[in-house]
């Protein structure tokens, strides 16, 4: 039993051949009949028209230009004889691009116009430096990418901040060290936010006298990154009313549980060798009349080795910035549209690409070149997550929306 909700089976057909075609199309046209292509350096901007309102005038452009920086790594692929395994490294970029483009196509049906330029970062530092200095990139109204921490760090270092334009960091969950850019917008939630979500739920849901909190933390670097905010926020939100017992492993864990209270066990590790016996032990203790609720690391969502039945018995809860309700009419419509356009089912990155494209495409259409002034005002209910942004004067924008999932019917579902 896997942690991830069951996905739809892919349609028949050779996806590799289709992807090869899409790679060629992406860099010949960079857009569909609805999203007009543009050559680097050829974007003509009409003069600014003054508005009587106090807010700066919206630049009346026929098209909104977007630069999409993704790691296709076409420089390593021979399109003449490439096989599926050769182009697998481009799956993330292709799927995100296809979802993003589909969003702009959907908006274009209502008369909106966009110029989408697609750039291959090639996952190479020199290439990223060149893109950061290229007018064809930085002159866009909006820049999406790069998607990896090292590439973002390099891009930020060689790009001069423009307060009227935003750089969207769409996929990674952590910022690279020393990157402070007030124009940076992070779509994914940080590990600090995940720690806060767990702490907020615990302090709002339970009374300090009725629960026993045990934090299982190996003290390894990655585990401590999750444990630290959990400890900090539980203490801060409850003003010290909740006490936490911390253990390095599951050895002798029974002696730290309370048979008369609800035991909230927070496990900061996602390592298979450590996690499997720990869950097995807790499951056995729950069958011995201990009331146990488990809170896990967000990486558990991709841990296919975990037993869903045991996690459900332990009332396991996981924080997540990604959840797709396949029963939703909006999701069904998107899947059907995606299948019709590309011939196979959307991946996680296709969903993320669509939500990113739709939110920012709509924002550009509504506010034009003043869109950055309204990021904290405009929320969005997406297919995989909702967007609601707050701004830090140094670190830029972050998405405050985060879900808590639990098991119902052996499937992960949002906590109600």
Q: Is the residue at 331 inside a domain?
A: yes
As a whole number of angstroms, the distance between CA 100 and CA 67 comes to 12
- Asked whether residue 338 falls in the same domain as residue 388, the answer is yes
Residue 1: what pLDDT?
A: 37
Closest CA to 102 of 408, 387, 383, 375: 383
Angle at 335 between CA 332 and CA 336, to 5 degrees: 85
Residue 178: what pLDDT?
A: 66
pLDDT at 20 exceeding the cut of 70: no
- Asked whether residue 350 falls in the same domain as residue 374, the answer is yes
Tokens linked to 178: 């020393």
- Asked whether residue 337 falls in the same domain as residue 277, the answer is no
pLDDT at 83 exceeding the cut of 90: no
Q: Is the residue at 80 inside a domain?
A: yes
> End of a domain among 276, 294, 320?
320
> End of a domain among 268, 297, 320?
320
- Asked whether residue 267 falls in the same domain as residue 359, the answer is no
Domain of 36?
15-189+326-401
- Asked whether residue 264 falls in the same domain as residue 390, the answer is no
pLDDT at 405 exceeding the cut of 90: yes
pLDDT at 19 exceeding the cut of 80: no
Q: Is the residue at 2 inside a domain?
A: no
As a whole number of angstroms, the distance between CA 341 and CA 136 comes to 28
Q: From its phi and psi, is residue 211 left (phi > 0), alpha (psi between -120 and 50) or beta?
A: beta
- Asked whether residue 371 falls in the same domain as residue 343, the answer is yes
Span 238-283, pLDDT tens digits? 999 999 999 999 999 999 999 999 999 999 999 999 999 999 999 9
- Asked whether residue 52 falls in the same domain as residue 93, the answer is yes
48: which DSSP letter?
P
Determine what percent of the chain is predicted with pLDDT higher than 70.
84
As a whole number of angstroms, the distance between CA 382 and CA 358 comes to 9
Q: Is the residue at 362 inside a domain?
A: yes
Q: Which residue has the higher pLDDT, 237 or 173?
A: 237
Predicted confidence band of residue 182 (pLDDT cuts 50, 70, 90)? confident
Beta bridge partners of 166: 142
Peptide linkage before 146 cis (omega within 30 of 0):
yes
Separation in Å, CA 80 to CA 30, 86, 128: 20, 12, 26
- Asked whether residue 207 falls in the same domain as residue 292, the answer is yes
SS3 assignment for 123-173: CCHHHHHHHHHCHHHHCCCEEECCCCHHHHHHHHHCCCCCCCCEEEECCCC
pLDDT at 207 exceeding the cut of 70: yes
Q: Is the residue at 7 inside a domain?
A: no
Q: Which residue has the higher pLDDT, 27 or 230?
A: 230
pLDDT at 236 exceeding the cut of 60: yes
As a whole number of angstroms, the distance between CA 168 and CA 352 comes to 13
Q: By three-state DSSP, how is residue 15 classified?
A: helix
Predicted confidence band of residue 62 (pLDDT cuts 50, 70, 90)? low
Q: Is the residue at 278 inside a domain?
A: yes
pLDDT at 350 exceeding the cut of 60: yes
Closest CA to 193 of 406, 398, 413, 412: 398
How many domains, the chain? 2
Please report where in the chains the tokens 């307060």 appear, as a residue: 163
Q: Which residue has the higher pLDDT, 10 or 385?
A: 385
384 contacts 189 by C-beta, under 8 angstroms: no
- Asked whether residue 178 falls in the same domain as residue 225, the answer is no
pLDDT at 33 exceeding the cut of 50: no
Q: Which residue has the higher pLDDT, 56 or 236?
A: 236
Q: Which residue has the higher pLDDT, 200 or 26?
A: 200
Tokens linked to 177: 């060290």
Mean per-residue pLDDT for 144-152? 92
- Asked whether residue 50 falls in the same domain as residue 185, the answer is yes
Choose the weakest-confidence range: 16-25, 112-121, 313-322, 334-343. Answer: 16-25
Tokens linked to 394: 């140094």
- Asked whether residue 39 falls in the same domain as residue 143, the answer is yes
As a whole number of angstroms, the distance between CA 269 and CA 288 comes to 24
Span 278-315, pLDDT tens digits? 999 999 999 998 999 999 999 999 999 999 999 999 99
Q: Is the residue at 411 inside a domain?
A: no
Burial bucket for residue 248 (CB in 10 Å: 0-12, 13-18, 19+): exposed
Q: What is the CATH number of the domain that holds 353?
A: 3.40.50.2300
Choose the weakest-confidence range: 173-187, 269-283, 385-399. Answer: 173-187
Residue 181: what pLDDT?
A: 82
Residue 160: what pLDDT?
A: 80
- Asked whether residue 278 falls in the same domain as residue 136, the answer is no
Q: By three-state DSSP, how is residue 385 classified?
A: coil
Choose the weakest-confidence range: 44-48, 287-291, 346-350. Answer: 44-48
Q: What is the mean pLDDT of the chain?
A: 85
> End of a domain among 301, 320, 339?
320
Q: Is the residue at 313 inside a domain?
A: yes
């Amino acid at each position: 039993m896997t942690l991830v909700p069951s996905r739809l089976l892919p349609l028949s057909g050779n996806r590799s051949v289709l992807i090869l075609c899409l790679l060629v199309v992406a860099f010949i046209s960079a857009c569909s009949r609805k999203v007009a292509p543009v050559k680097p350096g050829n974007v003509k901007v009409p003069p600014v028209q003054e508005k009587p309102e106090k807010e700066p005038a919206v630049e009346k452009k026929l098209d909104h230009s977007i630069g999409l920086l993704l790691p296709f790594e076409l420089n390593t692929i021979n399109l003449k004889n490439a096989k599926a395994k050769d182009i697998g490294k481009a799956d993330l970029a292709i799927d995100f691009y296809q979802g993003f483009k589909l969003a702009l196509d959907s908006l274009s049906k209502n008369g909106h116009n966009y110029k989408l330029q697609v750039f291959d970062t090639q996952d190479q530092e020199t290439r990223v430096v060149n893109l950061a200095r290229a007018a064809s990139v930085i002159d866009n109204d909006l820049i999406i990418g790069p998607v990896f921490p090292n590439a973002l760090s390099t891009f930020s270092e060689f790009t001069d901040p423009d307060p009227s334009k935003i750089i969207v960091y769409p996929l990674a969950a952590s910022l690279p060290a020393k990157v402070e850019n007030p124009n940076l917008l992070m779509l994914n939630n940080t590990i600090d936010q995940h720690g806060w979500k767990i702490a907020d739920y615990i302090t709002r849901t339970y009374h300090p006298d009725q629960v026993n909190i045990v934090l299982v933390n190996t003290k390894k670097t990655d585990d401590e990154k999750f444990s630290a905010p959990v400890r900090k926020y539980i203490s801060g939100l409850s003003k010290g009313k909740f006490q936490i017992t911390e253990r390095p492993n599951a050895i002798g864990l029974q002696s730290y549980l309370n048979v008369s209270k609800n035991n909230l066990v927070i496990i900061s590790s996602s390592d298979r060798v450590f996690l499997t016996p720990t869950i097995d032990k807790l499951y056995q203790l729950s069958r011995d009349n201990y009331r146990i609720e488990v809170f896990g690391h967000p990486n558990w969502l991709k841990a296919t080795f975990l037993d869903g039945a045991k996690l459900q018995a332990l009332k396991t809860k996981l924080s997540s910035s990604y959840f797709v309700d396949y029963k939703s009419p909006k999701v069904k419509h998107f899947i059907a549209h995606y299948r019709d356009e590309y011939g196979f089912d959307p991946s996680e990155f296709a969903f993320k690409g669509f939500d990113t494209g739709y939110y920012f495409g709509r924002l550009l259409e509504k506010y034009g070149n003043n869109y950055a002034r309204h990021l904290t005002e405009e929320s969005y209910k997406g297919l995989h997550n909702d967007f609601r942004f707050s701004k830090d004067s140094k670190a830029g924008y972050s998405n405050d929306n985060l879900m808590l999932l639990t098991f119902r019917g052996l499937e992960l579902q949002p906590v109600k």
